[in-house]
Chain A
């Protein structure tokens, strides 16, 4: 089934640990995005990639890094997790600028 796969589904992480959230899509979409969703706030863009080999910073990039080695994969890394990074993380992709976003099922991350 075509779509976006995120892993893990959920994770409890000790503060200071490093963590990579995985995201893979099989729709051959050029653009990919990482968002975090917190209660009472809109989705906030962390990083994005318009095409393989390029990445850009979103609204809340501090403490996160991404890479886009190929079209399908867009991992998000927390180098040294902090409790304020407790959130639900969604990966999304789109075919072009004005196309709707397709979202993965999310990763619920708790940093203790």
Chain B
């Protein structure tokens, strides 16, 4: 596989469920990101990992818990979500240090919270 892959593509969960989103990048990059895409709103940066260390958490509620076990994998653990958390969650990667501003995105995981 190439690029950035996200699984699952679609997820429906209740407010009391626990689930996880997975992201894997095959580009040799060392920075990975989670973005939230809601209708008619700017993309919201949630978390940034650089060399497996979390370098940014944009005041994301604790019901979202990221995990980055290595520079190729990124998870978003979900627990006790709210209906307003329904959105498309996008994973991206980049090569830190090049300052090109180019992010490589996965196709996203469409989350619906009932």
Specify whether A and B are partners.
no
